[in-house]
Amino acid sequence: MACIVKKPLLLKIYEAASMQRWNDQIRTVELTELDKQAHKMIAAYVIGKLEESESIRQINWTSIIEAGLFEFLQRIVLTDLKPPLFYEIKQDKEKYSKLNIWVYDRIYPFIECLGQYFCNRFKNYIMDFSENSERKIIGAAHFYITKWEFDIIQQFNPHGYQVKEIKNSIKKEQEKYNNIAGMKKLTRSKELTSFIDICGQLRFQVRWSHLYRVPKTSVLGHMLIVAIFSYLFSLESNRSKDVAVNNYFTGLFHDLPEVLTRDIINPVKKSVEGLDELIKEYERSEMDKKIYKLIPEQWHGEIRMFTEHEFENMQNRDGELVKAADDLAAFIEAYLSIINGIHNENLIIAMNNLKEKYKDKVVNGINFGKIYDDFDFRIIT
């Protein structure tokens, strides 16, 4: 039984963890493309949910997810283009079309494993200049988080090079989305903006913080990786759209409680009998006190499913598949550090344990043992 999702694509996704944002500005914290895209998708979830509540229509969540994924892949290729130049090119449809053909040609070798139908959807998205409701939601989320980042930079360097120009540019772009019902409600809600801010704190919470790793990944960046993996594996296993959507958002939110507890590694959780459940209970209590009061009550059931029962199989959610994606993400984090020259015994043990756990294991028809076998283990023997 073969696996469609291949190692080159899995590693390509991780390139965003090394892509620095605002690297021509004074930054008090590291801002990466992976974290930006993760934060953007959380904002898109909030805006989309508000849009559903404000208008009599259903949001196409598959379109939201794929718009975010396609723009993520596009951005990985266009890493060297500064935003002002990118938006200038975007104004010229002929030049922008040529640029996106170039993007497609470079990303195709990595996504062809997903099939021509997926490749065509990606190409059609980046070549289409029209804006439907879902695309507008993604655009609004993009500029909301861009401003969120810029506010950090501006606070510590208000008179820096191009700061005023950047501020005006962001404001101009944001105005395009002010008529979106969900965006209007978000900007008027102190609670919801606080919720997105709290999620943003996970950008600064480094995974495996007791170990030196290259590249470093934040908890928030890891959450997006798990979301993307979960979605791609859902497509591969021919899950329904509703299940694929729930699997994605479970991945995107599954570690949200860690903003209240920090990233506690499995060896610590398993070191004392009952400690794992004690941590879970504390997380549930803190989520009740600090998180649920910030979001509408109608969302509570969904967020509880994403954060409290994240690895349980449910009627419309494959918890076991999300867990497999979570473990694979941890494995690749360790793998990348080792091939980048960080030979640490804890990383090697973690990799070997995960490889053994998934040896010959099939989840939802996907041979995860084969995925692990594709990674070269000669480097750790």
Say whether pTM exceeds 0.95: no
Angle among Cα 149, 68, 202 to the nearest 5 degrees reads 45
* Cβ 149 vs Cβ 200: under 8 Å: no
Kindly report the three-state secondary structure assignment for every residue of 161-215. CCHHHHHHHHHHHHHHHCCCHHHHHHHCCHHHHHHHHHHHHCCCCECCCCCCCCC
The tokens describing 71, both together, are 């723009």
3-state SS class at 363: strand
* Cβ 43 vs Cβ 146: under 8 Å: no
Tens-binned pLDDT, residue by residue, of the chain (381 aa): 446 789 999 999 999 999 999 888 888 888 999 999 999 999 999 999 999 986 657 899 999 999 999 999 999 998 777 777 777 888 888 999 999 999 999 999 999 999 999 999 999 999 998 888 899 999 999 999 999 999 999 988 888 778 888 888 888 888 889 889 999 999 999 999 999 999 999 999 998 877 778 889 999 999 999 999 999 999 999 999 999 999 999 999 999 999 987 655 555 455 455 667 777 788 888 899 999 999 999 999 999 999 999 999 998 999 999 999 999 999 999 999 998 888 888 888 889 999 999 999 999 999 999 999 998 765 554
Domains of the chain, CATH where assigned: 7-380 (1.10.3210.10)
| Gyration radius from the chain CA atoms | 20
